[in-house]
């Protein structure tokens, strides 16, 4: 009697928000394994199904460690629901010949919108003004304090990939002067390029972070960078929290050594630095820059396309070659 072939399984780690939104549709198409449904440790769940798992689908907050990779002998593909892949042990994947893919530019426009929104909010103190009005302070204290205009500001962007370029395009249209630093100079981009963040920050008053988190970029934005940015300087981060030295950022903000910050990401999510709660020049959002209904639908289609391609031995989209 012939043994029926095992259906390739996709181990879901997270689960990603898009999986929650489209779980029934996903489950009709693929053999997903959902560890959170079992009241057992992850390693125990994996050990009972290791020989069927061909792929992992993971969220940005679910580490794909060397230990997990080594426990899955049939693993051939890791697919991230995020653009960043710092939560995946890329080195171990390369050693094992496992392909890694990310969400590509699916979120670029939405994250760029969030970056610009955070910047405008900090510069014009919109959230602070909202609190001022709703708390009933306006009739008692009168005029709200002066804010700044955005047009004419020098904006430095760290990382000019698809998100960074979308940010630059938006702010350039709003009258800002754009410059950037990146791993390499972009040949078709006319904005001024600086080879490192120190030269960039010396020539801008607003710093927007949109690069990947790597060993080289971890804590790239430290106290030295912030002090060069100066007391009127603003930092916006829509990339990964650990690119900024969060402890030093808090100190600089509390002491007034930089002018403000718009933060969608944090070093120890979902924990927020409570020292920032009382500061009107700081705007905080819960790592939600990429999450719109439209982006989730686009990501669902993109994930299905990539998993279909993998299972059918067709070329993948957005394979991560280097980080």
Question: From first to last of its 323 residues, what are the pLDDT tens digits of the chain?
Answer: 444 445 689 999 988 889 888 999 998 999 999 999 888 899 999 998 889 999 999 998 899 999 999 999 999 999 999 888 999 999 999 999 999 999 888 999 999 999 999 999 999 999 999 999 999 999 988 888 889 999 999 999 999 999 999 999 999 999 999 999 999 999 999 999 999 999 999 999 999 999 999 999 999 999 999 999 999 999 999 999 999 999 999 999 999 999 999 999 999 988 888 999 989 999 999 999 988 999 999 999 999 999 999 999 998 887 886 65
For the range 245-249, what are the long-range contacts, defined as Cβ-Cβ under 8 Å and sequence gap of 24 or more?
245/219, 245/221, 246/273, 248/222, 248/223, 249/221
Q: Is residue 181 part of a domain?
A: yes
Q: ω before 270 within 30° of 0 (cis)? A: yes
Token couple for 224? 């030295």
Phi and psi of 106, rounded to 5°? -55, -40
271 shares a domain with 242: yes
Are residue 84 and residue 134 in the same domain, yes or no? Answer: no
**148 shares its domain with 280:** yes
Q: In whole angstroms, what is the distance from residue 221 CA to residue 198 CA?
A: 9
The catalytic residue among 125, 205, 240, 246 is 240
The burial class, CB within 10 Å (0-12 / 13-18 / 19+), for 271 is exposed
Q: How many independent structural domains does the chain possess?
A: 2
Is residue 23 part of the annotated active site? The answer reads: no
Structural domain boundaries enclosing 46:
9-106+293-311
Same-domain status, 89 and 122: no
If one counts every other C-beta atom within 10 angstroms of the C-beta of residue 128, the result is: 19
DSSP H/E element including 162: helix 162-173
Determine, yes or no, domain membership for 45. Answer: yes
Does residue 260 contact residue 148 with C-beta atoms inside 8 Å?
no
Q: Within this chain, do residues 124 and 232 fall inside the same structural domain, yes or no?
A: yes
Residue 131 falls within a domain, yes or no?
A: yes
77 and 162, same domain (yes or no) = no
User: Would 323 be classed as within a structural domain?
Assistant: no
- 131 plus 264 within the same structural domain: yes
Same domain, residue pair 183 and 257: yes
263 falls within a domain: yes
Q: Give the span between the Cα atoms of 182 and 188, in whole angstroms.
A: 14
**Whole-number pLDDT of residue 323:** 55
User: Are residues 131 and 267 located together in one domain of the fold?
Assistant: yes
95 catalytic residue (yes or no): no
> Of 76, 148, 170, 287, which is the active-site residue?
287
Residue in 251, 269, 275, 288 annotated catalytic: 269
Strand, helix or coil at 36?
Answer: helix
Distance CA 41, CA 38 (A): 8
Q: Please answer whether residues 23 and 67 qualify as being in contact, where contact means their C-beta atoms are separated by less than 8 angstroms.
A: no
Alpha helices by DSSP H, 37-161: 42-47, 66-70, 90-96, 108-124, 126-134, 138-141
| 75 within 8 A of 69, measured Cβ to Cβ | yes
Instruction: Report the CATH number at residue 23.
Output: 3.40.50.720
Note whether residue 206 is domain-resident.
yes
- Note the pTM of the prediction, 2 decimals: 0.88
In this prediction, residue 1 carries a pLDDT of 42
In terms of domains, do 246 and 128 share one? yes
* Confidence (pLDDT) at 2: 45
Pair (116, 59) in one structural domain: no
Per-residue pLDDT, 52: 92
Question: What is the rounded CA–CA span in Å between residue 30 and residue 290?
Answer: 25
Residue 7, pLDDT score: 66
The CA distance from 202 to 188, in Å, is: 24
Euclidean distance between CA atoms 7 and 29, whole angstroms? 12
Tell me if residue 287 is catalytic: yes
Residue 32 lies in a domain: yes
In a domain, 168, yes or no: yes
In this structure, the answer to whether residues 63 and 128 fall within a common structural domain is no
- How far is 294 from 106, CA to CA, in rounded Å? 10
């Amino acid at each position: 009697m012939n043994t029926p072939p095992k259906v390739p399984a996709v181990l879901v780690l997270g689960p990603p928000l898009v999986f929650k939104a489209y779980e029934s549709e996903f489950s009709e198409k693929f053999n997903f394994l959902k560890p959170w449904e079992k009241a057992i440790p992850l390693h125990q769940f994996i050990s009972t199904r290791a020989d069927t798992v061909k792929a992992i689908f993971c969220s940005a907050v679910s580490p794909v460690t060397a230990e997990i990779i080594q426990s899955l002998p049939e693993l051939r593909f890791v697919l991230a629901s995020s653009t960043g892949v710092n939560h995946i042990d890329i080195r171990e994947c390369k050693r094992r010949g496992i392909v890694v893919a990310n969400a590509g530019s699916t979120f670029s426009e939405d994250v760029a919108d969030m970056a610009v929104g955070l910047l405008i909010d900090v510069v014009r103190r919109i959230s602070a003004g909202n609190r001022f009005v709703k708390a009933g302070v306006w009739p008692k204290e009168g005029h709200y304090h002066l804010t700044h205009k955005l047009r004419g500001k020098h904006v430095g962007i760290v990382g000019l990939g698809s998100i960074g370029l979308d940010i630059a395009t938006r702010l350039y249209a709003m009258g800002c002067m754009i410059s950037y630093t990146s791993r390499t100079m972009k040949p078709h981009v006319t904005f001024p390029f600086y080879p490192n963040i120190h030269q960039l920050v010396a020539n801008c008053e607003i710093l927007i972070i949109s690069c990947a988190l790597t060993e080289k970029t971890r804590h790239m934005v430290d106290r030295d960078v912030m002090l060069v940015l100066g007391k009127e300087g603003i930092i916006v981060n829509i990339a990964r929290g650990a690119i900024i030295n969060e402890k030093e950022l808090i100190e600089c903000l509390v002491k007034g050594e930089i002018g403000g910050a718009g933060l969608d990401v944090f070093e120890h999510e979902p924990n927020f630095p409570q020292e920032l709660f009382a500061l009107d020049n700081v705007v905080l959002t819960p790592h939600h820059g990429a999450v719109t209904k439209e982006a989730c639908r686009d990501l669902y289609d993109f994930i299905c396309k990539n998993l279909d391609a993998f299972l059918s031995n067709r070329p993948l989209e957005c394979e991560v070659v280097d980080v």
